[in-house]
Structures are given as C-alpha cells and as structure tokens.
Amino acid sequence: MQPVMEFFLDDVVQLRKSHPCGSDQWLVVRLGADIGLKCCKCQRRILLPRSTLERRIKKFISRGPGHTSSMDAAAGNK
C-alpha cells in the first residue's frame, strides 16, 4: 500500500501535461477529497480528485507554510 501524498495550501506543483495556456505549474487553493488548483499563468481554477492529482503530479516546485521536512522525509520526497 502506497502512503498518501500530503498537500498543503499554497503548494506549487508541476504536472506532467501542460495546460492549454502553456504553463505546467499550479497553485493548491483548496484541500479535501477534491484538490482545487489555480494555473500560475492564466489563473484558471480547476478541481481534480486527489487520486487523479497524485497520478499527474511530476514534482513540487515549492511547499506551503504547513509543510515540515520531517513529513517530506516520511513520504520519501527529498
């Protein structure tokens, strides 16, 4: 069983596919079963199910204020 990926408000993530505007970086603006994302270039907002986002994420560009390095080490992200 794979551990659940932790998301925090104001995380900036890079997704595998780019948005039609050309950007592949998104800001996390809502947490829950669905994750709210805002495109960093055109400001478009979308909702993705958590499971879909976990598959599409490539890497974290920056982490929000709720993030600690111990959580990152536990998740295997360095």
pTM: 0.80
pLDDT of residue 1: 62
Mean pLDDT estimate for the chain: 87
Decide if pLDDT at 74 tops 60: no
Contact 30, 47 (CB under 8 A): yes
Instruction: Describe the strand order of the beta sheet including 25-30 as a list of residue ranges.
Output: 45-49, 34-39, 25-30, 12-15, 57-62
Assign 3-class secondary structure to 26-78.
EEEEECCCEEEEEECCCCCEEEEEHHHHHHHEEEEEECCCCCCHHHHHHHCCC
